[in-house]
Amino acid sequence: MIAFENVSKFYDHNTVLKNITFTVQKGEMAFITGPSGAGKSTLLKLMYMEELPDEGNISIEDIHLSSLKMSEIPLLRRNIGVVFQDFKLINNLTVFDNVALALHIRGVSEREVHSFSSEALKKVGLRHVADSYPKSLSGGEQQRVAIARAIVGGPVVLLADEPTGNLDPDTALDIITLFRELNSQGTTILIATHNRELLKNTVKRLLRLDSGTLTEETVL
Ligand SMILES: Nc1ncnc2c1ncn2[C@@H]1O[C@H](COP(=O)(O)OP(=O)(O)OP(=O)(O)O)[C@@H](O)[C@H]1O
Ligand SMILES: [Mg+2]
């Protein structure tokens, strides 16, 4: 479960998130929407502790983030798959090695690294470019590599920041279908997007951020 309790975040004098309270239950799939600059990426960054809140409490899977030591952050991140808005792929590693890297660091056996990474690339339809380098791929393909890397370790929680931003409508739908599948297998998923088109027919739960304030939208 993800729980925010009265969370605020300021950058200098700019209030980016204002007294945010919400929960996403284990196994739920929810969307955060809102205009550019509303604070969607910031909200996600607080969950994997790239940023820290100025006020309030956040817990993920019953772990109170404020009680974690710096040295415990990697353990938290093992349970959280993140698709970054700017991908953050490593350009001097092949597609395969980008996906496999986190498993290697965790000490997963060579055989499992290979089978899990191949499986993740297959799920996003990119097994044929496993030996290519990110720079030689289109924006949409790089985005799918980022998705494969986020799901490869079988995360408990998947956070995706504009995961379909560079994808054509059909590929975007494929990715949402994949997220639904992962969700039906028990992964808790939170997707930030301003793509209203994508939200049609896919939304189970919609949270809306506007100027740092969160409201729950009724899904029709
Ligand atoms: N590191 C930072 N330092 C200062 N201000 C920041 C920082 N990160 C974000 N902001 C500001 O916080 C606000 C929210 O940014 P954020 O990236 O969370 O928005 P967003 O909803 O993800 O937007 P987009 O839809 O364009 O991705 C913006 O006004 C942004 O300029
Ligand atoms: Mg953003």
Ligand 2 centroid distance, CA of 63 (Å): 25
> Closest ligand to 208 CA?
1
Ligand 2 centroid distance, CA of 178 (Å): 22
Edge-to-edge strands of the sheet including 2-11? 14-24, 2-11, 55-60, 63-64
What is the model's pLDDT at position 28?
94
Mutate to test the pocket of ligand 1, among 7, 17, 42 (most ligand atoms within 8 A of CB): 42
> Closest ligand to 42 CA?
1
- Tell which atom from ligand 1 comes closest to the C-alpha of 192: 22
Q: What token pair was written down for 109? A: 């056996």
Ligand 2 centroid distance, CA of 9 (Å): 15
Which residues are CB-contacts of 39 (< 8 A; sequence separation ≥ 6)?
A: 9, 16, 17, 209, 212
Residue given tokens 């490869």 in the structure block:
152
Query: pLDDT tens digits for 37-67?
Result: 999 999 999 999 999 999 999 999 989 999 9
Name beta bridge partners: 57: 5
> Closest ligand to 209 CA?
1
Query: pLDDT tens digits for 165-195?
Result: 888 888 888 888 889 999 999 999 999 998 8
* Domains detected in the chain: 1-79+156-220 (3.40.50.300), 89-154 (no CATH)
Mutate to test the pocket of ligand 1, among 13, 40, 86 (most ligand atoms within 8 A of CB): 40
What is the model's pLDDT at position 220?
59
Query: pTM for the whole thing?
Result: 0.94
Below-70 pLDDT ranges, the chain = 201, 219-220
Mutate to test the pocket of ligand 1, among 11, 161, 213 (most ligand atoms within 8 A of CB): 11
User: How far apart (Å, rounded) are the C-alpha atoms in residues 80 and 78?
Assistant: 6
Ligand 1 centroid distance, CA of 84 (Å): 14
User: How far apart (Å, rounded) are the C-alpha atoms in residues 155 and 120?
Assistant: 12
Q: Which residues line ligand 1 (CB under 6 A)?
A: 11, 16, 34, 36-42, 85, 194
Cβ atoms < 10 Å from Cβ of 117: 26
